[in-house]
Amino acid sequence: MLRFTLNGQAVEVDAPGDTPLLWVIRDHLKLKGSKFGCGMGLCGACSMLVDGQSTRTCILPAASVANKSVTTIEGIGNPELVSAVQQAWVDASVAQCGYCQSGQIVSATALLTQNPNPSDSEIDNAMSGNICRCGTYPKIKAAIKQAASAVQNGQGKLQVGYFEPNKTATEAS
């Protein structure tokens, strides 16, 4: 039995410990926001926060998060409670196809949690492992700067709402 904290809630999952965390979250806990991209930890689509660090979960054995805190895109915010990063993404019209965006938002949230006022080069370094096939990198950088400003000015939070496994957004609020 795997035990960890998911989006602020203690969870127990009956899954083999060598199962990648992405599949435990998607298949066992039914949270589908984090995506499978490359399966080798290279593209960032599967990124989640593990104890606050952006982590590639397609290659991370679920057993390695025992007694740790995992935050998925659903834990950063949801349609009723939008985080500053998510709002900046909307305002800057970042998403095109949208496939990479959950991983991008997770990584941006980790960056801003550790560095609330990053420089352009710090943004580039933090986001370098997240691939966007649509090439929205300039918009991503602008959105990160907007989110940083919103948080600094008290106009938003980096994480605003937890989305519980197996519940709809309405039930979780």
Hey, what's the torsion of the CAs at 12, 30, 61, 15, to 10 degrees?
50
Residue 154 clears pLDDT 70, i.e. is over it: yes
Domain span at residue 26?
2-76
Taking only the tens place, the pLDDT of each residue in 68-122 is 999 999 999 988 889 999 999 999 999 889 899 999 999 999 999 999 999 999 9
Within a domain: 49: yes
Q: The pTM is what?
A: 0.90
Q: What is the mean pLDDT of the chain?
A: 92
Within a domain: 120: yes
Q: What is the pLDDT of residue 167?
A: 44
Domain harbouring 67, CATH code? 3.10.20.30
Residue of 114 and 173 predicted with greater confidence? 114
Q: What is the pLDDT of residue 160?
A: 81
Taking only the tens place, the pLDDT of each residue in 40-61 is 999 999 999 999 999 999 999 9
Within a domain: 161: no
Characterize 107-120 residue by residue with b for buried, 16 or more Cβ atoms within 10 angstroms of its Cβ, and e for exposed: bbbbbbeeeeebee
The number of distinct structural domains making up the chain is 2
Q: How far apart are CA 76 and CA 55, in angstroms?
A: 15
Q: Which two tokens stand for residue 142?
A: 């602008």
Please report which confidence band the pLDDT of residue 168 belongs to, taking 50, 70 and 90 as the band edges: very low
